[in-house]
A and B are shown apart, each in its own frame.
Chain A
Amino acid sequence: ETGVTQTPRHLVMGMTNKKSLKCEQHLGHNAMYWYKQSAKKPLELMFVYNFKEQTENNSVPSRFSPECPNSSHLFLHLHTLQPEDSALYLCASSQGWGQETQYFGPGTRLLVL
């Protein structure tokens, strides 16, 4: 349960605020991911980092800005969000860059007012 951690667990922000989500993995993995989970929709992959390099950006609006300073840490910087961005944001990690298991963090529940 402590392999992938995320902070904060809950966040309420106004549309003009700037905030950051943090993810840390203690599994020695090399790839990290950000997902968005909204009600009634499948998990949506937002960003992928492999060995600190961004390899995927699935047409995510620029108001979401990822940062991966090293293989253990991943951030998602948020600014001028919209109410429809309210969702559960999940971080995940995997050992490598192949078709293999991803391990999820507990998520940050974000509410944009």
Chain B
Amino acid sequence: GENVEQHPSTLSVQEGDSAVIKCTYSDSASNYFPWYKQELGKRPQLIIDIRSNVGEKKDQRIAVTLNKTAKHFSLHITETQPEDSAVYFCAAPTTGNQFYFGTGTSLTVIP
């Protein structure tokens, strides 16, 4: 099955700085890579995703890059704000729509 590794597990940045979270996966059949944000006590919510036919996707302050050859993808948040503080999860699906999630990164943005 798929093996998804996510780093770092915790990340603290000053407000306005950038944050980068990286994930690696093992199943070459994976071709869809979502990122979820989970605030304390709330559900995971999709913030951005990318398919394997593109190398980068951007949505305002959030971007995701994908290196399919190396089997890794990264979340980039620029100009961080306190409301970006949350746990972020990457995922890679394998056969069918069985998602394997990373262990999560707890991001703290310090005002």
Q: Do A and B come from one complex?
A: yes
Q: A27 — which chain B residues lie within 8 A by C-beta? A: none
A56 cross-chain contacts in B, Cβ below 8 A:
96, 98
Q: Which of A43, A97, A103 contacts B101 (CB 8 A)?
A: A43
Question: Is A76 among interface residues, defined by CB-CB distance under 8 A?
Answer: no
Given the contacts A42-B102, A48-B96, A101-B49, A90 and B44 also touching, CB distance less than 8 Å: yes
Closest to A44 in B: B101
Is the beta-carbon distance between A99 and B31 smaller than 8 angstroms? Answer: yes
Q: How large is the interface on B (under 10, 10 to 19, 20 to 34, 35 or more residues)?
A: 20 to 34
B104 touches A42 (CB 8 A): yes
Tell which of B89, B96, B100, B103 touches A55, judged by Cβ atoms closer than 8 Å: B96
Q: Is B97 an interface residue (CB 8 A)?
A: yes
Contact status B44-A104, CB under 8 Å: yes
Q: Is B42 an interface residue (CB 8 A)?
A: yes
A94 in contact (CB, < 8 A): yes
Q: Check B97 against A105 for contact (C-beta < 8 Å).
A: no
Interface members, chain B 74-104 (any A CB < 8 Å) = 89, 91, 93, 96-104
Shortest C-beta distance, A98 to chain B (Å), equals 6
Measured between beta carbons, the chain B residues less than 8 angstroms from A103 are 46
A interface residue numbers (CB < 8 A to B): 4, 31, 33, 40-43, 45, 48, 50, 55-56, 90, 94, 96-107
Residues of B within 8 A of A (CB): 4, 30-32, 34, 36, 42-46, 49, 89, 91, 93, 96-104
CB-defined A-B contacts under 8 Å, sample of 28 = A4-B43, A31-B97, A33-B97, A42-B89, A42-B101, A43-B89, A45-B99, A48-B97, A50-B97, A56-B96, A90-B43, A97-B96, A97-B97, A98-B96, A99-B30, A99-B31, A99-B32, A99-B93, A99-B97, A100-B97, A102-B34, A102-B99, A103-B46, A104-B43, A104-B44, A104-B45, A105-B43, A106-B43
Q: A45-B98, A90-B44 are in contact. List 14 more A-B contacts (CB 8 A).
A: A33-B99, A43-B89, A43-B99, A45-B99, A48-B97, A50-B97, A94-B97, A97-B97, A99-B30, A102-B46, A104-B45, A106-B42, A106-B43, A107-B43
